[in-house]
Amino acid sequence: MSKDKILVIGASGQIGVELTMALRGIHGDAQVIASDLREPNPLLLGTGPYVSLNVMNKEMLHVQVIRQNIKQIYLLAAILSATGEKNPGLAWNLNIQGLLNVLEIAKEEHLDKVYWPSSIAVFGPTSPKRDCPQQTIIEPITVYGISKYAGEFWCNYYHNRFGIDVRSLRYPGLISYKSEPGGGTTDYAVEIFHEALAAGRYECFLKPDTYLPMMYMPDAIRATLELMEAPAAAVRVRTSYNLSAMSFSPAEIAVEVAKYVPHFNMHYKPDYRQLIADSWPQSIDDSAAHTDWGWKPEYDLAAMTADMMRNLQTPPTS
Ligand code: AKB
């Protein structure tokens, strides 16, 4: 039987749920196998095949790749920046060993393509703060950032040495309403919507003037699909592409949210995540993605806030 299916690892996470649904829309429900260690996210229930899978178990992963006739893998399972600082060893193991397991299987089974996300967390305090370029000084201070940077070079290595068509994006903070983020420093920009609508106030764990690169999930999903559809020759960056849409501070998003929640009140109580946020660039230069495969974001802060509010205030239809 020819290999024709797509495996999404970490399908119940913030990106995984929406990417799985988007891939199912394009390739057909049965062609996209969702997998996770966790229970399936409720939004995925009844939408297509689901297998319970631990990416750290290479043998089981290998068995599933053969059994399910997998030709492409999207590896989304990871421990993010804030959670990673609580258990650095675990974050390194999952983020790196998980990737190596997938790359080895891609080599052994001659898979068509692999997708693996990197992050703006690769950058550190010595990287340029504004319009941070694709290639620059990169000295990350979090274990998450170190694992992502090392992972980028493993991707590059497997591409150069074994011809694996592995592609990657450095996501900024991602904002979404369908599935929640978990353990990131940029999570405040999602929490603020839920707390504003539920309680009319939010206590932010970053200072009001902390500018960070951010992106609305529909843009992130489209960027991922466009990168994966691009002709291989156009994908010249085989570490990971800078990707950008907007930059804002907690004070600025609070002003936008207050347009929809008139008495909205924001308090600030910075914690250990401030140090992480301060180490990252405020904005990103993603001109390589524009040039190589035509990337163009659609959502700015106002458009994203309007769409978030519309969706969070509308009861879901079943
Ligand atoms: C995090 O905050 O850790 C993530 C990221 C920027 O990769 N959202």
CATH of the domain at 224: 3.40.50.720
The answer as to whether 66 is a domain residue is yes
Q: Distance between CA 152 and CA 119 in Å, rounded?
A: 10
One domain for residues 182 and 85: no
The answer as to whether 318 is a domain residue is no
One domain for residues 26 and 113: yes
Q: Distance between CA 250 and CA 207 in Å, rounded?
A: 7
Which residues does a 6 A CB cutoff place in the pocket of ligand 1? 80-81, 119-121, 144, 171, 173, 184-186
One domain for residues 93 and 123: yes
One domain for residues 179 and 119: no
The answer as to whether 98 is a domain residue is yes
Q: Distance between CA 142 and CA 26 in Å, rounded?
A: 36
The DSSP 8-state label assigned to residue 121 in this structure reads G
One domain for residues 301 and 206: yes
One domain for residues 21 and 71: yes
Q: Distance between CA 267 and CA 195 in Å, rounded?
A: 12
The answer as to whether 82 is a domain residue is yes
Residue 318 CB neighbours (<10 A): 3
Question: 217-229 and 14-27 are packed helices; what angle lies between their axes, rounded to 10 degrees?
Answer: 50
Last residue of one domain, picked from the residues 193, 227, 242: 242
Output the CA–CA distances (angstroms, integers) from residue 11 to 6, 73, 310, 311, 313, in the order listed: 12, 11, 25, 21, 25
Q: Distance between CA 295 and CA 223 in Å, rounded?
A: 7
Distance from residue 182's CA to the centre of ligand 1 (Å): 9
Query: Ligand 1: which residue has its CA nearest to atom 7?
Result: 119
Q: Distance between CA 1 and CA 23 in Å, rounded?
A: 22
Catalytic-residue membership of 144: yes
The answer as to whether 298 is a domain residue is yes
Catalytic residue among 50, 74, 115, 144: 144
**Helices and strands (H and E) in the chain: how many:** 12, 14
Last residue of one domain, picked from the residues 196, 224, 242: 242
CATH of the domain at 189: 3.90.25.10
One domain for residues 209 and 105: no
One domain for residues 136 and 183: no
pLDDT by residue for the chain (318 residues), tens only, comes to 556 999 999 999 999 999 999 999 999 999 999 999 999 999 999 999 999 999 999 999 999 999 999 999 999 999 999 999 999 999 999 999 999 999 999 999 999 999 999 999 999 999 999 999 999 999 999 999 999 999 999 999 999 999 999 999 999 999 999 988 889 999 999 999 999 999 999 999 999 999 999 999 999 999 999 999 999 999 999 999 999 999 999 999 999 999 999 999 999 999 999 999 999 999 999 999 999 999 999 999 999 999 999 999 976 554
Distance from residue 224's CA to the centre of ligand 1 (Å): 16
One domain for residues 42 and 106: yes
One domain for residues 86 and 204: no
Q: Distance between CA 310 and CA 303 in Å, rounded?
A: 11
Q: Distance between CA 1 and CA 274 in Å, rounded?
A: 52
Extract the tokens encoding 126.
């010595």
One domain for residues 231 and 306: no
Number of domains in the chain: 2
One domain for residues 82 and 16: yes
Distance from residue 177's CA to the centre of ligand 1 (Å): 16
The answer as to whether 107 is a domain residue is yes
Query: Ligand 1: which residue has its CA nearest to atom 8?
Result: 173
> Domain of 102?
5-172+216-242
Query: Ligand 1: which residue has its CA nearest to atom 1?
Result: 184
